[in-house]
Amino acid sequence: MHCKPKFTLGGIVVVLLMASSVAGDDQYKFLYKFSSGSTIHEMEQSRQESGAILISRFEKTVEFIVTRTPASPTSTLTARITSLSNKGRRINYYDNVTFKATISDTGEINNYSFSGGRPEYHALIMAAGPANRSNIFWMPRFPDTAMKIGDTFTHTASFGNPGMSAGGRTVYELAEVEGDKARFRVRQEGSVASASVGGSSTSQGQAVFDMKKGMWESMNLNGEGTATMAGGLISTYTMSSQKTISQRP
């Protein structure tokens, strides 16, 4: 005689709670995976609008070449801005400029430098050096410990030169993991201050990290900002940006 298994409502609830608890406790360690000789391509589009007025529409493409020796704990990224335009008009400030930095597997950036470029733009590039560091090597540093769904980490950037200071703060919240793809909610705040102008901005969106490749796949943000001009004139604007990253051996 065979007895049919009996399931009670209480037992089903317990099983479901146990399954939920196990799923919620999954932990994920995030690391960059840089392979010597590989190339990373990044395309970014961003725009600012004030009402019906288009303030800016930037398009930028950056190419990174990775080098790494077997015994080294870091990789070297050599970057070039291969194209840059605003409202369709080409910008040549960074022609033949090479940016370089070392990056650890967790994303810690060190040894930033740049070289080359057109002599007439050298002073401009020098003045924008700290900002270029954050814009080119924007990859956030991951926490040293594993993350669970709902965990956050913060990436900060600050720079300045005589008469001006600026900074930003980006919070990444792990929203979900499906297969090799991790999706983060992103919240970003920025500010700039000088003797003649100041402003602040906030934006939010999402970013996708490919854990198998060890590299970000995309980041999309939308937000708004306020600018204060000399004389107290205040203007507001909306902004958006889309970044896509691809990597080949």
In angstroms, the CA 96 to CA 116 distance is 6
Q: The pTM is what?
A: 0.86
Percentage of the chain surpassing pLDDT 90?
A: 71
Assign 179 to helix, strand or coil: coil
Note whether 200 and 174 are within 8 A (CB).
Answer: no
- DSSP character string of 50-102: ETTEEEEEEEEEEEEEEE--TT-SEEEEEEEEEEEEETTEE--TTTTEEEEEE
For the stretch 9-57, pLDDT in tens is: 444 443 333 333 334 579 999 999 999 999 999 999 999 999 999 999 9
For the stretch 160-175, pLDDT in tens is: 666 778 889 999 999 9
For residue 21, what pLDDT is reported? 36
DSSP state of 136: H
218-247 burial, b if ≥16 CB within 10 A, otherwise e? bbbbebebebbeeeeeeeebbbebebebeb
For residue 22, what pLDDT is reported? 38
Amino acid in position 12: I
Write out the two tokens for 66.
């990775």
For residue 24, what pLDDT is reported? 55
Residue 238 pLDDT greater than 60, yes or no: yes
For residue 13, what pLDDT is reported? 40
Residue 187 pLDDT greater than 90, yes or no: yes
In angstroms, the CA 18 to CA 21 distance is 5
CA distances from 225 to 156, 200, 239 (A): 18, 6, 8
Domains and CATH numbers, the chain: 30-248 (2.30.230)
With cut-offs at 50, 70 and 90, classify the pLDDT of residue 181: very high
Residue 204 pLDDT greater than 70, yes or no: yes
Across 91-180, the runs of DSSP E, i.e. the strands, are: 97-104, 109-116, 152-161, 164-178
For the stretch 67-111, pLDDT in tens is: 999 889 999 999 999 999 999 999 999 999 999 999 999 999 999
For residue 149, what pLDDT is reported? 98
For residue 162, what pLDDT is reported? 66
What are φ and ψ of residue 224, in 5° steps?
Answer: -145, 160
